[in-house]
Amino acid sequence: MKYFRSLLTGISLITFIFQNEVYGQTMQPEGAAVQQLLQAQLDEDIPGILMGIEHYGSPGTQWSAGYNDVQTKTLLNSDQTFRIASVTKTFVAVAILRLWEEAKLGLDDPITNYLCEDHLNLLRKGGYDPESITIRHLLQHNSGMADHSHTAAYDVAVLRSGYKWTRQGQIEALVEYSKPVGKPGERFSYSDTGYVLLGEILEKITGLSMGEAIVQLIDFEKLALNSTAMEAPDGDFSGKRIHQYYQGEDTYLFHPSLDYFGGGGLLSNTADLSHFMLALFNNEIFKSRSTLEQMIEPVSYTETPSMDYRMGIWKTQIGGLDAWTHTGFWGTQTTYFPDLNLSITVNYSSRWKVKGNAPIFEETVKLYNTRKD
């Protein structure tokens, strides 16, 4: 593959074209300002950006700026889909909690109740005690499990566009190339592998594929999440999915199995993700508000964790406001602001360069804070 910088030679001479789509109403007054913020994010490393914003009870708005494919110079459309990577974890956690509401599992059940013997034996071989690891531990990333996506095997394979992973292959990579990071419940340590196991639990209990289980348990039809689904096993090449870039390379042909089994796997767009977050925090998914309270209950550790992670979501502050959020590896972040009852989702076509929240959030929140006042 060609590197991104070579594809964008002379980018400073290019005027990015951006567009927006408002579904259900005319453009909001601050729309032009939002578009200016999007365009300001674009440079030789970030060819395009998508944003979706929705207030609870009002139609949402989508924006796009820049290129979809820098090689062909095609522009982004605001409703295009993208690989949401770890934002899938929020959907997995919600689906697991829906099963908990239906009394089909206990959050403190050991994972030995649900995982196949082959996978349990692999974990034991890697030094884990699956009898002591619960579903709650997996949801909160405190199972003591390392992360297969941070192993040497994964780093090599992820750069091979045609490499096909299996769930078992990811567990094998965990066991072969890493060691446990602690005892269950002892400390926070983010683990894709833990959510890969949760994906297996969803399949075991429902008898469905993980993607189908998520769709049914969350009721995508009721929520009108029409652009969210597991990517086809061999990839979505319908033209709806955007090109996403990593370290200067176009990852469009990277095989979807690289995070297909629970740590990631879903395709979505900014409108669906923003609407999902609003529905989650406005009692439209769980049967009881107490389930959401269970999901966002604080977790205590003897040492301060690197993030305030709960179950499939973490708490942060953006622009002086509390926010509930999750990010995805390729450049996605979806966030709910309770003080504004507002959701904002952004997808950078290449990961933003600073640590922490997507840079555009702070300025966008200022616009809405001003409007609120």
Q: Are residues 236 and 355 in the same domain?
A: no
Asked if the structure places residue 303 within a domain, the reply is no
Q: Is the pLDDT of residue 373 over 70?
A: no
Q: Is the pLDDT of residue 24 over 60?
A: no
Residue whose C-alpha is closest to residue 361's, from 314, 324, 329: 324
Residues 6+ positions from 27 with CB-CB distance below 8 Å? 20, 61
- Angstrom distance (rounded) from CA 199 to CA 144: 18
What confidence tens digit (pLDDT) does each residue in 336-351 have?
999 999 999 999 999 9
Asked if the structure places residue 297 within a domain, the reply is no
Task: Give the per-residue pLDDT at 367.
Answer: 85
Residue 120 · residue 168 · CB < 8 Å: no
Asked if the structure places residue 309 within a domain, the reply is no
- Read off the CATH number of the domain in which 167 is found: 3.40.710.10
Residue whose C-alpha is closest to residue 274's, from 13, 63, 11, 8: 63
End-of-domain residue from the set 229, 250, 269: 269
Q: How many domains does the chain have?
A: 2
Task: Give the per-residue pLDDT at 372.
Answer: 53
Q: Are residues 61 and 112 in the same domain?
A: no
End-of-domain residue from the set 209, 235, 269: 269
Asked if the structure places residue 255 within a domain, the reply is yes
Asked if the structure places residue 261 within a domain, the reply is yes
Task: Give the per-residue pLDDT at 26.
Answer: 32
Q: Are residues 163 and 258 in the same domain?
A: yes
Q: What is the CA radius of gyration of the chain?
A: 20
Q: Is the pLDDT of residue 15 over 70?
A: no
Q: Are residues 179 and 131 in the same domain?
A: yes
Instruction: Show the domain range for 230.
Output: 85-269
Task: Give the per-residue pLDDT at 63.
Answer: 96
- Angstrom distance (rounded) from CA 332 to CA 235: 19
Q: Are residues 116 and 254 in the same domain?
A: yes
Q: Are residues 110 and 188 in the same domain?
A: yes
- Burial of residue 58 (CB within 10 Å: 0-12, 13-18, 19+) is middle
pTM across the whole model: 0.92
Asked if the structure places residue 110 within a domain, the reply is yes
What confidence tens digit (pLDDT) does each residue in 210-254 have?
999 999 999 999 999 999 999 999 999 999 999 999 988 999 999
Task: Give the per-residue pLDDT at 161.
Answer: 74
